[in-house]
Structure 1
Amino acid sequence: MKKYIFPYLIYLTGGMALPTLLNGCTANAKKEELSTEKPAAIPTFKLQKEKLSTALQLPGELSAFQQVDLYAKVSSFVKTLNVDIGSEVKKGQLLMTLEAPETNSQLSAAKSRLKSQEALYMASKAHYDRLYETSKTPGTISKNDLDQAIARRNSDLAQLDAAKAAYQEVGSLRDYLEIRAPFNGIITARNVNLGAYVGPSGKGSELPLFTLQEQKHLRLAVAIPEVYTGYLKAGDEVSFTLRSVPEQVFKAKVKRLSGALDLRLRSEKVEMDVPNVNKQLLPGMIAEVYIPLPANASTFVVPKKAIIETAEGIYVWKVVDHKAEKVNVKKGRETDDQAEIFGALRIGDELVTSPSEELRAGTQIKP
């Protein structure tokens, strides 16, 4: 029985050792393959500085060059209406007359007080003049009487000046009964009719009597994002189109820059002057503005496919000693196939042209 068990044990031992021997040979073969693996051939390019000129497309709004809402200064009634919506008016033209009977009464009362004060002043002045002439003879007029006459004359003169001011004030209020155009323009709104009550405290004051706009010149306002504010200056020409006339391209020049960023939008307001002699454009139209952004200086410009954007950030792959090295960058302006980048880079650095997200730091690369 024993002489049959021993060979059986030897057979089992040899059977277990054989797989172990085979596994060891396979591992050695893989190590030899890895040790002989060649670097992958990946397209690369040399980093250079260029001037990247781009264009910015933003919505803009047309508005009147000047616009004013006209209100009534004095509580009154509408007496005449000389213009209506769409009327083209000149500066100083009479648009409306108002009627306020109590104002005429106030003017008459102020005029009467003025005449009364003029009479009192003339009397006190004549009295002082007589006393002064008589006082030239020594001992005829006491100094106290002369001083009282001077004081009375000066008091009446002050009362006369006050009466003149009151009369002018009422006269000025009467002038407000005539509503005139402050500049050349077009009446775009009329909110009253004949006989309507208007005034600073009446129901008619809720809306303006008229709205006047200057439309032969318009303003085109655009909000420039913060990143592009340094590329635009006064005098630069922009173009824009409108939905009402999509086949026509209009030109305008930058005239005013706010010089500060809107705290809510983080953008700078820029205005362009737009001639509109033929009145083809209307205030309130929305324009599609094309703003050229010329390059002020040379920057690193790379193909957009060389930039990888992930949750970890924005980066490119640089080849250093035939190995991949990740470099974090920030993007600037972009075109269809190129983009500016800023980071720890130098001219002549070798970057991977079209990296994949599977590329890892230290990967062997054959340019």
Structure 2
Amino acid sequence: MQLKNVIHHDPVRQPVFSRLLKGSTGFVLAGIGLLALLQSCKSTNGEETANNTKAAPVVVSTEVVSLQKGRLSSSLQIPGELVAFQQVDLYAKENSFVRKLYVDVGSEVKTGQLLVTMEAPELASLEAAAQSRLRSQEALYIASKSNYERLLETSKTPGTISQNDLDQALAKKNSDFAQWDAAKAQSREVANRRGYLEIRAPFNGVITARNVNPGAYVGPSGKGSEFPLFTLQEQKKLRLVIYVPEAYTGYLNQQDIVNFNVNAFPNEKFSAQVKRLAGALDSRLRSQRIEMDVTNANKRLLPGMVANVMIPLSTKDSTFILPKTAVVSSQERVFVIKVVNNKAEWVDVKKGRETDGKVEVFGELNAGDLIVKTGSEEVRDGSTVILNSSLQF
């Protein structure tokens, strides 16, 4: 409007401004046309995008497997320890001195075999005193018994012995008998203590440690001996001890046979039989202690060896088994893709054991369901699936 007013009041410049006004109108018309074209293109692209969004993705030539039940056999490797079937540390019961040793480290001994003799001079004095007291009490009892019997015989004549004298004689006889009995017990105690000066093997085994020499002062643990005289182990039969995690406690039962190997003989396999199950979980390890018996007649296996135990994990009931590639594990869920009427359906599952590229799955599945063999989040839930008939089985 201002431009038109300038042209109208200025006759000199009117022709020039008229030409400029005509040129500006052309530019404006060209701009309006370009804007309309861009708006048309934007509208067209928006419609195409909306149509593409509404269209369900299609997966072509998807390979599927038919879900079936089976038994998945695998094994679990657990470290174990071989220990002696029986082991004992032998201490001296009496404070004494070692007189003679009859065995040494590595000696194989039999039950009852003499291992060491000791001497304690004070026990000889105690034994002599006990024998003297025993004889004294025996004599007193014999005298009181004879006195009572004479009084009893005399009392048969009325008025000769009062009942009080007879009762006192009976009490003296019973008291002397009790004292004699106590003296006999004391004498046996001293004799038993002298027997402790000889230490014998409590079972068949091998001496694996010796901590004394002749002349050493020994006694009970903490009262003369810091270490035991000997350590005796039974080695012809060993215990294999393992701790089985909670998830695998149901796979081993008594009398089951397991195989193991040791580092000393890496190419050899040994067998053991399950004998003892703890029946409870260790509160710290959350595992069950299981012991197996190992026959070791040739004594090649040694107590303390670490064993690699292979536990067979064979299921008793059949479960659904799929290739590991069929199970999709995302940050939010674990699922398989089931095909129903050419539609993909995500089914949440839980995985069990895995072996040889296969895995146990548990979920809302049925035998014969078609499962995408190679699952992926790209196969969206509800999308159309075109199956390659040559890949179905």
- TM-score under structure 2 normalisation? 0.87
Larger of the two Rg values belongs to structure: 2
* CA 1:127–1:354: 2 relative to 1, 3 Å: same
Moved more, 248-257 or 25-34: 25-34
Distance in 2 separating the partners of 1:4 and 1:357? 60
Aligned to 1:327: 347
Q: What is the CA distance between 1:123 and its match in structure 2?
A: 1.0
Aligned length, in residue pairs? 367
Letter in 2 for 1:350: L
Distance in 1 separating the partners of 2:374 and 2:357? 12
Moved more, 254-263 or 35-44: 35-44
Taking the TM superposition and a 5 Å limit, the aligned residue runs for 1:1-367 are 1=18, 5-32=24-51, 39-41=58-60, 42-200=62-220, 204-320=224-340, 322-367=342-387
CA contact (8 A) 1:75 1:202 kept: no
CA displacement 1:19-50 (0-9 Å, x = unmatched): 11122223334445556666213322232221
2:266 partner SS:
coil
Aligned to 2:3: none
* CA 1:99–1:357: 2 relative to 1, 3 Å: farther
Q: What is the CA distance between 1:203 and its match in structure 2?
A: 6.5
Distance in 2 separating the partners of 1:289 and 1:267? 15
* CA 1:259–1:202: 2 relative to 1, 3 Å: closer
- TM-score under structure 1 normalisation? 0.93
1:251 partner SS:
strand
Distance in 2 separating the partners of 1:105 and 1:315? 86
1:263 partner SS:
coil
Distance in 1 separating the partners of 2:204 and 2:39? 102
Identity of aligned residues (%): 57
Runs of at least 5 residues in structure 2 that lack an aligned partner in the other structure: 1-17, 388-393
Q: What is the CA distance between 1:114 and its match in structure 2?
A: 1.1
Distance in 2 separating the partners of 1:243 and 1:9? 92
CA contact (8 A) 1:192 1:204 kept: no
Moved more, 153-162 or 98-107: 153-162
CA contact (8 A) 2:94 2:219 kept: yes
* CA 1:203–1:131: 2 relative to 1, 3 Å: closer
* CA 1:4–1:81: 2 relative to 1, 3 Å: closer
Q: What is the CA distance between 1:16 and its match in structure 2?
A: 0.8
Distance in 1 separating the partners of 2:344 and 2:158? 119
Letter in 2 for 1:10: L
CA contact (8 A) 1:62 1:286 kept: yes
CA displacement 1:200-253 (0-9 Å, x = unmatched): 266752111000011111111122221111111111111111221122211222
Moved more, 3-12 or 175-184: 3-12
Letter in 1 for 2:29: I
CA contact (8 A) 2:59 2:379 kept: no
CA displacement 1:186-209 (0-9 Å, x = unmatched): 000000011000002667521110
* CA 1:12–1:309: 2 relative to 1, 3 Å: closer
CA displacement 1:146-179 (0-9 Å, x = unmatched): 1111111111111112111111111111111000
Moved more, 161-170 or 209-218: 161-170
CA contact (8 A) 2:95 2:224 kept: no
1:291 partner SS:
strand
Distance in 1 separating the partners of 2:76 and 2:270? 16
Letter in 2 for 1:23: K
Letter in 2 for 1:240: F
* CA 1:254–1:33: 2 relative to 1, 3 Å: same
Distance in 1 separating the partners of 2:221 and 2:124? 20
Moved more, 127-136 or 6-15: 6-15
Moved more, 202-211 or 154-163: 202-211
